[in-house]
Amino acid sequence: MRGRIRAAFRAVSAEVVRAAFRACQSKLRLCLQRESRHFERLEFQDRLDDDFNFISKKAYSPKVLRTLYKDNIPQCSLIVEGISYPIIQTVDNHLRCLLCQKEISDDKYSHLNSINHAMSAINLGMKKRLKTYHDTWLDEDEHFQMQQIYFEKDRDYYCKICDLDVKTGELTEHIKSTLHTTSLQKFLINERSLDKLNIFHDIEILPQIDRNKMNVESLQGSQLDGYYNSDSDSDESSDDGSKQYSKSIISEYYPDFDKHNCVVDNVRYPIFRTTVIGTVCMICKRNPKIELINEHLTKDKHKLKMIDETRRN
């Protein structure tokens, strides 16, 4: 009796094993078929990209690549949604990582191999911001693309020349505006940066542009000759011979100059500037508009930046 039971059990077990094996075979065939179809789609997409590469892929002009993105190596770019975007921007001799949004003070490879950079490279938000930044400039012509060195990307675009936050949809309008063009022409003639408070103001103290003669299309220094004339009340000198703003500029942009200023190289410079968005602090730069100046002056962040500015100069 026991022998018959064992034989029946073995027969049932063998049938179960065979059924399980057949089921595994069926699933394996299904997986292989799906994988085969997946690779066929990938191969087709690759051929499609090659055939229509002139439509599906944007590129910077040779001048922009030669000037701003000199490092044509894999480490200096990041692939986002199938498109390679440069991440190391060169302006003069200064390097900036567009992904991490920071200046590179040491060797660029040390930064590229750092943990912080590696974390940025897998951060979806930072990758999306990098893509948005480049796509904005790639949609326009070469002249527009070259303007990107004057802007930083956060939620909006920050114009370092005009000290203003500009929304993406208003970027083209701002670049073509009289405010930006005027500020940029002054900047190019001086060939200075906006890193120091006194340098920023020295740029502005230049004689004002005659807007009737201003050529908006061209920003080349050689074509700017003769665009400047002096206001009747500009370039007034103090008793010690130092440069000063005209009364009209002080009244319009720096009404609090007498009360709030910073002394650099024995020259007084305004701290608070009146802009289209409200009053901004020239020391704190990226701060939003200031509602109460006296309240802003008491903040620790402002005090520390004032001390740093004084020491640096």
pLDDT digits (tens, 9 = 90+) for 202-245: 545 444 444 333 333 333 333 333 323 333 333 333 444 445 67
Asked whether residue 8 is domain-assigned, the answer is no
Asked whether residue 52 is domain-assigned, the answer is no
Asked whether residue 231 is domain-assigned, the answer is yes
Q: Which of 51-65, 76-90, 100-114, 288-302 has the lowest mean pLDDT?
A: 51-65
Instruction: Enumerate the β-bridge partners of residue 153.
Output: 157
Is the pLDDT assigned to residue 190 strictly greater than 60? no
- Please check whether residues 144 and 187 belong to one and the same domain: no
Closest residue by Cα to residue 308 from 266, 269, 267, 264: 264
Asked whether residue 111 is domain-assigned, the answer is yes
Per residue in 80-126, pLDDT (tens digit) is 888 889 999 887 678 889 999 888 887 888 899 889 999 999 899 89
- Please check whether residues 209 and 116 belong to one and the same domain: no
Is the pLDDT assigned to residue 147 strictly greater than 70? yes
Asked whether residue 125 is domain-assigned, the answer is yes
Could you tell me the strand order of the sheet in which 157-159 lies? 151-153, 157-159, 164-166
- Please check whether residues 288 and 217 belong to one and the same domain: yes
Asked whether residue 74 is domain-assigned, the answer is yes
Q: Which of 120, 153, 186 is the last residue of a domain?
A: 153
- Please check whether residues 104 and 204 belong to one and the same domain: no
Give the integer Cα–Cα distance in Å for 179 and 175. 9
- Please check whether residues 138 and 250 belong to one and the same domain: no
- Please check whether residues 191 and 295 belong to one and the same domain: yes
Asked whether residue 30 is domain-assigned, the answer is no
Tokens of 140: 């326009």
Residue with tokens 């930064």: 111
Asked whether residue 112 is domain-assigned, the answer is yes
Tokens of 118: 């590696």
Quote the number of domains for the chain. 2
- Please check whether residues 146 and 185 belong to one and the same domain: no
- Indicate the SS3 state at residue 45: helix
- The CA-CA-CA angle for residues 149, 208, 230, to 5°, reads 150
- Please check whether residues 147 and 188 belong to one and the same domain: no
Per residue in 255-270, pLDDT (tens digit) is 888 888 887 777 788 8
Please give the mean pLDDT across all residues of the chain.
71
- Please check whether residues 203 and 146 belong to one and the same domain: no
C-alpha torsion 25→31→32→35, nearest 10: 180
Residues in the chain: 313
- Please check whether residues 295 and 256 belong to one and the same domain: yes
Residue 149 is predicted with a pLDDT of 84
The whole model's pTM is what? Answer: 0.44
Q: Which of 153, 188, 207 is the last residue of a domain?
A: 153
Is the pLDDT assigned to residue 170 strictly greater than 80? yes
- Please check whether residues 184 and 86 belong to one and the same domain: no
Residue 206 is predicted with a pLDDT of 42
Q: Which residues contact 228 (CB under 8 A, 6 or more apart)?
A: 206, 207, 208, 209, 210
- Domain membership of residue 226 as a residue range: 178-312
Give the integer Cα–Cα distance in Å for 153 and 112. 20
